[in-house]
């Protein structure tokens, strides 16, 4: 049995573009999503060839792109927190659980505007988005995705990756996925993840589920230690 998506509670990246739309030149109509868990070394191997950019908050005026080592360290800290088995609490761990960054092969499309000390994203096209995600039981499904992480931080389990299916630029016609510069970035990253991380299957209440979360064999060993796995009473297959 596959676990269906719950999209009634919009993911964080959707409202980020709404709140920050004074600096965004397009409206995202719908999203592609994939979910994964990799070890820090595997995460580095997948994303090492791309640029990282802040896409959801203001930056200092000197900012252009993020240092890759900084992002790799942040991911490592997140992974270590989850694999420690600690029950995450939003008020204590939000700096780590709030992991979120844009990924692009076209940093020239990721500019910032404003005067004074701070500037805001003013991207001409979207980039690939990464953010930590959590799961929770919903209906008959033990690992429903698409929830705001602050709602159930104790069930944080990996990274959600997003890219628009289509956008509507200001005063222009809708653009589809294939016309966006970073659509090849999305496809390349997905291919790399699929190569090392198959879909995770679990047992819950005597039933087998395809979670549609891609987890590498090495990360699966650590996943057994996650508080979320113990809290939800699932068995990793």
Domain limits, the chain = 12-236
pTM reported for the whole predicted model = 0.87
pLDDT for 165-193, tens place per residue? 888 876 677 778 888 999 999 999 999 99
Q: State phi, psi for 233 to the nearest 5 degrees.
A: 65, 40
- Segment 103-122 shows an average pLDDT of 91
pLDDT for 13-63, tens place per residue? 333 343 343 455 677 878 899 999 999 999 999 999 999 999 888 899 999
d(CA 39, CA 197): 10
Query: Which residue, among 134, 156, 132, has the nearest Cα to 145 in the 3D structure?
Result: 134
d(CA 25, CA 171): 9
d(CA 128, CA 105): 9
């Amino acid at each position: 049995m596959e676990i269906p998506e719950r999209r009634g509670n919009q993911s964080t990246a959707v409202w980020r573009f709404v709140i920050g739309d004074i600096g965004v030149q397009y409206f995202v109509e719908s999203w592609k999503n994939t979910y994964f868990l990799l070890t820090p070394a595997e995460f580095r191997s997948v994303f090492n060839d791309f640029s990282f950019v802040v896409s959801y908050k203001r930056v200092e005026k000197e900012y252009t792109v993020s240092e890759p080592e900084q992002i790799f360290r942040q991911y490592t800290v997140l992974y270590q927190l989850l694999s420690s088995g600690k029950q995450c609490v939003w008020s204590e761990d939000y700096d780590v659980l709030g992991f979120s960054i844009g990924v692009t092969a076209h940093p020239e499309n990721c500019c910032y505007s404003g005067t004074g000390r701070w500037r805001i994203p003013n991207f001409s096209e979207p980039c690939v988005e990464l953010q930590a995600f959590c799961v929770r039981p919903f209906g008959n499904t033990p690992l429903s995705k698409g929830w705001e992480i602050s709602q159930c931080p104790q069930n944080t389990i990996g990274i959600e990756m997003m890219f628009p299916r289509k956008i509507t630029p200001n005063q222009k016609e809708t653009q589809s996925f294939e016309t966006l510069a970073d659509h090849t970035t999305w496809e390349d990253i997905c291919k790399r993840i699929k190569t090392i991380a198959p879909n995770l299957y679990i047992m819950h209440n005597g039933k087998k589920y395809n979670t549609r979360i891609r987890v590498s064999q090495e990360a699966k060993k650590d996943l057994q230690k996650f508080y979320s796995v113990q809290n939800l009473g699932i068995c990793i297959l």
